[in-house]
A and B are shown apart, each in its own frame.
Chain A
Amino acid sequence: MSNTPKAGGLPAEALVDAGIAAPAVSAAGDLSSRGGLRRVVITGAGTINALGHDVSSTLEAFREGRCGITQLDFRDVERLSIQIGAQIHDWTPETYFNRQQILLYDKFTQFTLLAAKQAVAESGLHFEGALGLRAGVILGTAGGGLNTWDENYRAVYEEGKNRVHPFVVPKLMNNAAASHVSMEFGLRGPAFTVATACASSNHAMGLAFQMVRAGAADVMLSGGSEAMLCFGGVKAWEGLRVMSKDACRPFSANRNGMVQGEGAGVFVFEEYEHARARGAQILAEVVGFAMSSDAQDIVMPSAQGAERAITGAIVDAGLNLDQIGYINAHGTGTAANDKTECAAVAHAFGHHADRLMMSSTKSMHGHLIGGTGAVELLACIMALRDGVIAPTIGYQEPDPECGLDVVPNEAREARVDAVLSNAFAFGGLNAVIALRRA
């Protein structure tokens, strides 16, 4: 029993071998009539992260292979053993929000709203009237308003205060960002938040894609956000002893752990005919999504679980293996993830893995945990639209267990037709999205 697909295609027996769930096979099995499924395109993108406050500056950093990881700067940082991160140092909420909004928005909501405004502006959409009823928002975050938790626990435990601000709960709740996005734009359809640790954004975007594809909505804003760079947030991660003290070096033999980042990415997912009818600019087409659970270990990843999500996304997209030119890796820079991910990709792609590029942009923007898949989707869009593959920077020594082309250190020009974005979360939850050039 080999689940390595044959040249160029994914025969049915390979899918059975790979353990792809029956519904996923049947949904994509008959490519001539995809069950009335609609096409989904991306018509707007927005971001803020350590590399830039918008998409163009972020893509420029990707092209230059610039690193956004610096010395952390916040209260009590001297008590941390991990003191680096991809922090947004020049964040001034007053530039974007009024006093009342700042009182109500945790940093993860602020980041989300900024990215969402950019995405909606680029899309040119307005949600007054009927469209608002057919539009919604699904966002990913792992920690939600973690800074708010941190600040208020400090106030009551350390400083002995017996009173907190009345907005603490609406500020810290994980769905705060999704709710504020829905209010900002009048999105009155499905709106909720997905929390699956490091796969949150990919799960969110995958669900948004499925909703538009299935006809449950015509437009969905989706992506994710994280703002975990505070004393309590980093202190919790220190405990696991998987963080690097010096750099994020995915796939490099001398990698020594992950480095956290912060920020948000938000996209406008729109039904293709709707976008075409209004002459919208199409950044890329979302063509496939699959998710799987390892059902094995709370922290150690499984190559089989990852492979099932990778193969599932390709099947769902109706693509052949040789059409995938680039994968934005989960690529955390930990010993365990990177070798497991490379094994999963190598096994899923068979000999096609030799012609595949796979980079980890976490080396530049850090690991945004619940927001990471959203920022990483930008590298996928750049590959498809601009023909530029973002590099894995910090790469120093080849690792025989990570033997794929990881686009080391320098961006590369290459035309690719279809790409994948991987996310494999603690808890063994895997989510992979497939995009195609518009």
Chain B
Amino acid sequence: MTDDIRQRIRSIIAEQAMLDPDQVTDEATPQQLGIDSLGLVESIFAIEEEFDITVPFNANEPEKSDFDISNMGTIIAAVQRLVAEKDG
């Protein structure tokens, strides 16, 4: 389940960043992957659609969001939490 979520997110981000999913490591930041603010908003939308969840994210104050976008690992963890809450 956890690995499945990780793979699906990596695919979404890889498509957005025009990279191979293997290049989307947990340590990589959106900036390092070449994802700008609009690309991030688009990625979050794709994640919401993929998992049928609502991601709390305001582009004006990303640091204040419950959804930590520091790197791929934090994004994956946040999505896992939201999916668990939905299924919970």
- On A, residues with C-beta under 8 Å from B are 81, 239-245, 255-257, 297-300, 334-336
CA distance A244 to B54 in the complex (A): 17
Contacting residues, chain A, for B57 (C-beta < 8 A): 241
User: Using an 8 Å CB-CB cutoff, how does the interface string of B20-38 with A read, 1 for contact, 0 for none?
Assistant: 0000000000000000111
Q: Is B41 touching A240 in the complex (CB atoms < 8 A)?
A: yes
Q: Mark B59-83, 1 if CB is under 8 A from A, else 0.
A: 1110010000000000000000000
Contact assessment for A256 and B58 in the assembled complex, using a CB-CB cutoff below 8 Å: yes
In order of increasing CB-CB distance, the 8 nearest A-B pairs are A335-B60, A241-B59, A257-B60, A256-B60, A256-B61, A241-B41, A242-B59, A334-B60
Other CB < 8 Å A-B pairs besides A242-B58, A257-B59, 16 of them?
Answer: A241-B57, A241-B59, A242-B60, A243-B58, A244-B58, A244-B60, A245-B58, A256-B58, A256-B60, A256-B61, A256-B64, A298-B38, A300-B36, A300-B37, A334-B59, A335-B59
Residue of A255, A298, A299 near B60 (CB, 8 A) is A255
Task: Report B-chain residues with C-beta under 8 Å of the C-beta of A256.
Answer: 58, 60-61, 64
Q: How many residues of B contact A (CB 8 A)?
A: 13
Chain B residues close to A by CB (< 8 Å): 36-38, 41, 44-45, 54, 57-61, 64
List the count of A-B residue pairs having beta carbons below 8 Å apart.
38
Chain A residue at smallest Cβ distance from B42: A239
Query: Is the Cβ of A257 less than 8 Å from the Cβ of B58?
Result: yes
Complex Cα distance A245/B61, Å?
Answer: 12
Residue of B nearest to A337 (CB): B60
Instruction: Tell me the complex Cα distance, A255–B59, Å.
Output: 11
> Residue of B at shortest CB range from A338?
B60
Closest Cβ of chain B to A249, distance in Å, is 10
How many Å lie between the Cα of A67 and that of B15 in the bound state? 43
A241 to B60, CA, bound (A): 8
Q: Which of chain B's residues have a CB closer than 8 A to the CB of A335?
A: 59-61
A residues near B41, Cβ cutoff 8 Å: 239-241
* Nearest chain B residue, comparing its CB with the CB of A258: B60
Closest to B59 in A: A241
Asked whether, in the complex, the Cβ of A299 is within 8 Å of the Cβ of B38, the reply is: yes
Query: Which of B36, B59, B64 lies in contact with A240, CB distance below 8 A?
Result: B59
> Nearest CB to that of A335 among chain B residues?
B60
> Which residue from chain B places its CB closest to the CB of A243 in the assembled complex?
B58
CA distance A133 to B60 in the complex (A): 49
When C-beta atoms are compared, the residue in chain A nearest to B36 turns out to be A300
- Looking at the assembled complex, report how far the CB atom of A205 sits from the nearest CB atom of chain B, in whole angstroms: 29
Q: Give Cα A334–Cα B59 distance, bound, in whole angstroms.
A: 9
Q: Which residues of B contact A257 (CB under 8 A)?
A: 58-60
